[in-house]
Each structure stands twice: as structure tokens, then as C-alpha cells.
Amino acid sequence: MTKRLDLRVDFAFKSLFGTHGNESILAAFLNAALRLPEEKKITTVHLLDPHFNKENQEDKRSILDVHAQLEDGTRINIEIQLNNKHDMEKRTLYYWSKMYSSQMKEGMDYGELCQTITINIVNFRYLSHINHYHSVFQLYEREEKLLLTDMLEIHFMELPKLLIKWRRKEVDPREDQLVRWLLLLEASEDEEITQVLEEIAMQEDHVLKKAIDEWERVSQDPEVLLAYEARRKALLDEKSALKRAENLGKIEGEKIGEKRGVLKVALGMIQEGMDSKTISKLTGLTQEEIDKLRHQ
């Protein structure tokens, strides 16, 4: 069997879920993600131009998002992130606001604006204080928990948390369709997951079968592979850069911590009446630094 694309790479994800002809795959994922009741199931999805953030030319990220509109006008944006840049909450609010405001046309009434949903699929632990792999945020009154409006809805789906639950047998893709679709993103690295999903696809889920067949097809497309490898390399370079920055930050933090410790020791020496020359010799502080401490 051909090695399949890693669907956690945003380019590969969009090739499967955000390509014309695959709207039924996207609709099935959204029905699972939004937990819609049978009578409100999505049947039609219209893929939109993802360049809704055109005025920010430096951020090319939105072109790899999946941006869609439902029959009732609801706007949905799906973003997949491999690397934690520690800015997700601000980033997702910014994209939500751009997507929401982009609906407004000259002469429109505010009442015509439609619900706007962002779905963030992340390959790292983001909400460390909760164990749920799928978290949904809306606008509520703090004390009464009263929903102000359903216009804003933000989802976080954390793949590492789902994998832990899968290994502990706390989730079952046969019973939960969202688990099914999210595990598909991990299937290129896990033969057991692949086997289980292929069995489900053959036995009961024709849309999942279509997704797996399409995944197999694009994984053999030379043009797709070329673009995919370029994007995967860019993400690996980004991960390395983030790691370097993190390590530099730790080193700088350690230096600051050490300096504070030395200053605290020197302050104790001053309070004990020791002379500046001795303090400088023992701590390595300059005369100017010691004089500043004496005048605190």
C-alpha cells in the first residue's frame, strides 16, 4: 500500500476536506463536529474563497484553512495546527472577527449577519487544565451562564488527548463519528487505527469509505505530493525555529533567575554590614550594582 499523506499537515487536510468534489466528506465531518441533531444535519456545504483576510498580506496561513458556508448562511472555518505558537486564543478570535465582519455588505442590516464558527484542530495539548479533547466556547453571562448569542462559536480539538483516550479504550470510533474523523488524521502513523477505520468504512460508513479512497488517490498524485512535501518541510522548519526560540528563552530566563539570586545574596551581605569590595569579590557584582542595592 502506498504511504498516505499525513492529514495533520494542513495542505493534506485541505486536499481531502476542502476540495471541490469532496463536499460530502466535509459535511460528514461538520455534522460530527457540531453534534447536530438528525433534523438539522448538514446536507449541502459550499466551499468559499479562503482569502477572507486579504488585507493582512503577511499572513498566508488562511489559504490553507477550509472555509465553508452552510445552507442557512452559517460560516465555518477549519484550521489545523501542528505547532504550538502560544497565541491560539488571540489568533482564533482575530480570524473569527474577520470572517464574521466579511459578511457585511453595503446596505446590509446587522440582523442579516449569520452564525460564524471556527474549528481549531491542534496536534498539541492546548487546554491543559481540562481532559476533554473537544472543547466548545461561546458568549455566556458569567454568573447566570446565560447565552448572549450563538453568533460566536469556537471549537478546539486536541489530537494528543484523543489518542490517550483511544489507547485507554475510553472512546470508540464505531460509536462516535467525531472520534472516527479525528482518528483518520492520525491513521497515517498508526496501522491499528487504519485497520479499524477501514473496517468501519467497509461495513457501515460510505462517506468514510469515500474519504479513505480519496485520501489514497491524492497520496499518489505527483503534483499534490510535490506541494505537500514543500509544506511539510516548511512546517518542520517552523517547528525547529520555535524550539530554538523556546530554548533561548529558557536560557535567558535561567540567567535572569541566577542574577536575581545573586542580588538577593548581595543584599543580605549589605544588611550584615559587609563592605562593597568583599561583596564584589564573592558575588561578581560591580561596584555600581552594589551601590544601587545600598540605596534601595
Of 80, 50, 49, the residue nearest 181 (C-alpha): 80
* Beta strand 66-70 pairing with 75-81: antiparallel
pLDDT at position 256 is: 66
pLDDT digits (tens, 9 = 90+) for 211-266: 999 999 999 999 888 888 888 888 777 777 766 666 665 655 555 667 777 787 77
Alpha-carbon gap, residue 194 to 212, rounded angstroms: 10
Alpha-carbon torsion angle 103, 105, 108, 112, nearest 10: -10
Which residue stretches of the chain have pLDDT < 70?
1-2, 50-63, 242-257
Nearest to 55 by CA among 97, 89, 88: 97
What's residue 280's pLDDT? 80
Confidence at residue 254, expressed as pLDDT on a 0 to 100 scale: 58
3-state SS track over 165-225: HHHCCCCCCCCCHHHHHHHHHHHHHCHHHHHHHHHHHHHCCHHHHHHHHHHHHHCCCHHHH
Residue 106 per-residue DSSP state: T
Q: Which residues contact 212 (CB under 8 A, 6 or more apart)?
A: 184, 197, 198, 201
